């Protein structure tokens, strides 16, 4: 059995049914990761001994009749920005915590409580602060479908690992598009939940006003399961909503007929014409499944984008203030340059952005979402650029280049809305679009993605 082609839910079933052992699945995952790393730079640390020990424990528990949860024995790997007891996460950077973590990040701990184990810590943009996969400390991530092209960032290694079949599911984070962009670029799914849906306890903070932790997966069933497992109240993160977590996997089969997908044609027309064509093709898949397309308008998208920057940049500058003052040379040029911006934004302007959020979200819900259930936008505005094209360092092209990459993703973080990236039907180099839901409407997004997946089957990148 080739376990590297399976969805997490199917692999877990195979392990439970003793068709394959966790050790066998873990060895296969480690081998696949090792094989793809050379071409893609997906891995920061391969944790072979620890992974195999955890897998052996899972097999032993199963032999005793114990099943820890729905991911029992399943090997996973995650973006290297989460605390794990006794370890120092790389944060994709030269600058790291001085001491090992005393506890494990809540989302990771919840996936482990469900029976999974981590086999590797994965590549990310330095401090998760970049949307392309460039990293001047670790080396740039390379797209498994075309290694000259970007992976998207900042959850680059997570997207590569899922796309290549090494693991079925991985965690990442999203402050301005960092789950959605790499998912689109590598041809997999990702889900950024509502801003307050998933605990961020133990995740490296970048901009708490915007940060979200979420899963990437090849199969929507895995995305739904992961979201169910990691969502919900957490005593370690007071910002998480106390709302009950829906049983997302159980809701996947609900019909999508009649669901209205809002499209702002004027905004979409800012995308490259080839992207618009792929976006239209993907929308037709959803229409064929019974969803209905309607026209909507996102008023003042640029204004929302500016507000996102006013919220984000001072938070990043503050978080990195001490490091910038004392260890500026240890940053890569791009991240250092972007951190500097926040020092020049006035406190009043930052506060305006933070104070305005509720008002602007309420307006968007009342206007844009008045006659639709979800909205759709491309994830990238352009076909995937090459690594060389976007190798702008900290130079004069930096902000414009980054702004174009996150044109359709960054404002969604300001609005706090859930957004799910779906890969376009395969056509050589991947790309994708996002469905953006009302607050806490993750299940609607997942249902639409499940309907889409019935028509457009996941594919695995054969880089190695």
Partner 1 sequence: MTSPTPSGQRPVSLGDHQVPDERIALIAPHIAMLAETARAVGDRLPLEADATDMVAVLEGEVE
- Please tell me whether residue 335 binds partner 1 under the rule CB under 8 A: no
DSSP string, 198-209: B--TTBPPS-TT
State the maximum Cα–Cα separation within the chain, in Å, rounded to a whole number.
Answer: 62
Tell me if 5 contacts partner 1 by CB under 8 A. Answer: no
Among 358, 427, 454, 457, binds partner 1 (CB under 8 A): 358
Strands 292-295 and 260-263: parallel
Q: State yes or no: residue 399 binds partner 1 (CB under 8 A).
A: yes
Q: CA–CA separation, 193 vs 35, rounded Å? A: 32
Residue 326 as a binder of partner 1 (CB under 8 A): the answer is yes
Task: Give the residue with the Cβ less far from partner 1, 246 or 383.
Answer: 246
DSSP 180-248: HHHHHHHT-EEEE--TTTB--TTBPPS-TTT-EEEEEESSHHHHHHHHHHHBS-BTTBTTS--SPPP-H
Give the shortest CB-270-to-partner 1 separation in angstroms: 18
**Cβ at position 365, least distance to partner 1 in Å:** 7
Among positions 85-114, residues that touch partner 1 (CB under 8 A) are none
Footprint of partner 1 on 378-397 (CB under 8 A)? 394, 396
What number of chain residues touch partner 1 (CB under 8 A)? Answer: 48
Q: Which is nearer to partner 1, 243 or 260 (CB)?
A: 243
Nearer to partner 1 by Cβ, of 331 and 433: the residue is: 331
Q: Are 203 and 107 in contact (CB under 8 A)?
A: yes
241 binds partner 1 (CB under 8 A): yes
Q: Which is nearer to partner 1, 331 or 408 (CB)?
A: 331
Shortest CB 354 distance to partner 1, Å: 5
Give the 3-state secondary structure of residue 357: helix
Q: Which stretch binds partner 1 (CB under 8 A): 29-37, 129-137, 313-321, 420-428?
A: 313-321
Catalytic residues: 79, 154, 178
List the interface residues with partner 1, window 337-356 (CB under 8 A).
337, 340-341, 343-346, 348-349, 352-356
From first CA to last CA, the distance across the chain in angstroms is 19
The yes or no reply on residue 233 touching partner 1 (CB under 8 A) is no
Distance CA 362, CA 134 (A): 36
Contacts of 144 (CB under 8 A, 6+ apart): 36, 39, 40, 42, 151, 160, 163, 164, 186, 461, 463
| Binding of partner 1 by 273 (CB under 8 A) | no
Task: Establish if 321 lies at the interface with partner 1 (CB under 8 A).
Answer: yes
Considering the rule CB under 8 A, would residue 361 count as an interface residue with partner 1? yes
Query: Distance between CA atoms of 387 and 392, rounded to whole angstroms?
Result: 10
Residue 367 lies near partner 1 (rule: CB under 8 A) = no
Near partner 1 by CB under 8 A, which window of 48-56, 179-187, 253-261, 315-323?
315-323
Half-sphere exposure of 142 (CA within 13 A, CB side): 14
Q: How far is the CB of 109 from partner 1 (least distance, A)?
A: 24
Which of the stretches 112-120, 175-183, 287-295, 336-344 binds partner 1 when contact is defined by CB under 8 A?
A: 336-344
For the bound state, the minimum distance from the C-beta of residue 432 to partner 1, rounded and expressed in Å, comes to: 25
Question: Among residues 103 and 352, whose Cβ is nearest to partner 1?
Answer: 352
- Token output for 190: 């990702």
- Is residue 118 classed as helix, strand or coil in its secondary structure? strand
Three-state SS string over 96-111 comes to CCCCCCCCCCHHHHHH
Do 381 and 407 touch, CB atoms closer than 8 A? yes
Window 188 to 217, contacts with partner 1 (CB under 8 A):
194-196
Binding segment for partner 1 (CB under 8 A), chosen from 102-110, 140-148, 288-296, 436-444, is: 436-444
Question: Exactly one of 102, 235, 359, 428 binds partner 1 (CB under 8 A); which one?
Answer: 359
What b-and-e string marks burial along 19-47, b requiring 16 or more CB atoms within 10 Å of the CB? ebbbbbbbbbbbebbbebbebbbbbbebb
Measured between alpha carbons, how far is 436 from 374 in angstroms, rounded to an integer?
6
Tokens for 21, please give them: 């052992």
Check binding of 20 to partner 1 (CB under 8 A): no
Confirm or reject binding of residue 439 to partner 1 (CB under 8 A).
yes
Question: Of 273 and 359, which CB lies nearer to partner 1 in the complex structure?
Answer: 359
Sites of contact with partner 1 (CB under 8 A) = 194-196, 241, 243, 246, 303, 306-307, 309-310, 317-318, 321, 324-326, 328, 337, 340-341, 343-346, 348-349, 352-362, 365, 394, 396, 398-399, 416, 438-441
């Amino acid at each position: 059995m080739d376990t590297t082609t399976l969805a997490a839910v199917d692999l877990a079933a195979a392990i439970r049914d003793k068709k394959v052992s966790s050790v066998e699945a873990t060895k296969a995952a480690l081998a696949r990761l090792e094989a793809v790393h050379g071409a893609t730079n997906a891995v920061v640390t391969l944790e072979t001994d620890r992974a195999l020990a955890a897998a052996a424990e899972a097999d032993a528990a199963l032999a005793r009749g114990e099943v820890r949860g729905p991911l029992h024995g399943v090997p996973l790997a995650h973006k290297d920005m989460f605390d794990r007891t006794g370890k120092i996460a790389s944060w994709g950077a030269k600058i790291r915590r001085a001491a090992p973590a005393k506890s494990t990040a809540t989302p990771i701990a919840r996936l482990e409580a469900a029976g999974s184990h981590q086999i590797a810590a994965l590549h990310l943009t330095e401090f998760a602060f970049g949307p392309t996969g460039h990293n001047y400390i670790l080396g740039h991530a390379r797209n498994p479908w075309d290694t000259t092209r970007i992976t998207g960032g900042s959850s680059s290694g997570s997207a590569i690992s899922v796309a290549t079949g090494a693991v079925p599911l991985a965690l990442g984070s999203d402050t301005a598009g960092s789950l959605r962009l790499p998912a689109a670029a590598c041809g997999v799914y990702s889900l950024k939940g509502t801003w307050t849906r998933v605990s961020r306890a133990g995740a490296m903070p970048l901009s708490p006003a915007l940060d979200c932790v979420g899963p990437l997966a090849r199969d929507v069933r895995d995305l739904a399961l992961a979201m169910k497992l990691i969502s919900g109240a957490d005593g370690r993160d007071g910002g998480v909503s106390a709302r009950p977590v829906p049983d997302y996997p159980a809701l996947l089969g609900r019909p999508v007929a009649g669901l209205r997908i809002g499209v702002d044609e004027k905004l979409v027309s800012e995308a490259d014409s080839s992207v618009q064509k792929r976006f239209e093709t993907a929308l037709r898949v959803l229409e064929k499944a019974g969803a209905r397309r309607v026209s909507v308008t996102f008023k003042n998208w640029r204004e929302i984008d500016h507000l996102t920057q006013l919220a984000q940049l001072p938070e990043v500058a503050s978080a990195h203030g001490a490091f910038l003052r004392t260890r500026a040379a240890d940053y890569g040029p791009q991240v250092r340059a972007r951190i500097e911006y926040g020092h020049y934004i006035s406190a009043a302007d930052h506060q305006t952005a933070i104070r305005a959020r509720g008002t602007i979200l309420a307006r968007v819900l009342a206007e844009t979402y008045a006659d639709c259930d979800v909205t759709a936008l491309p994830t990238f505005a352009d076909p995937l650029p090459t690594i060389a094209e976007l190798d702008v360092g900290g130079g004069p092209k930096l902000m414009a280049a980054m702004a174009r990459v996150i044109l359709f993703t960054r404002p969604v973080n300001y609005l706090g809305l859930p957004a799910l990236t779906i890969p376009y039907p395969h056509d050589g180099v991947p790309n994708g679009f996002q469905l953006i839901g009302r607050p806490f409407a993750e299940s609607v997004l997942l249902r639409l993605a499940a309907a889409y997946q019935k028509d457009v089957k996941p594919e695995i990148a054969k880089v190695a």
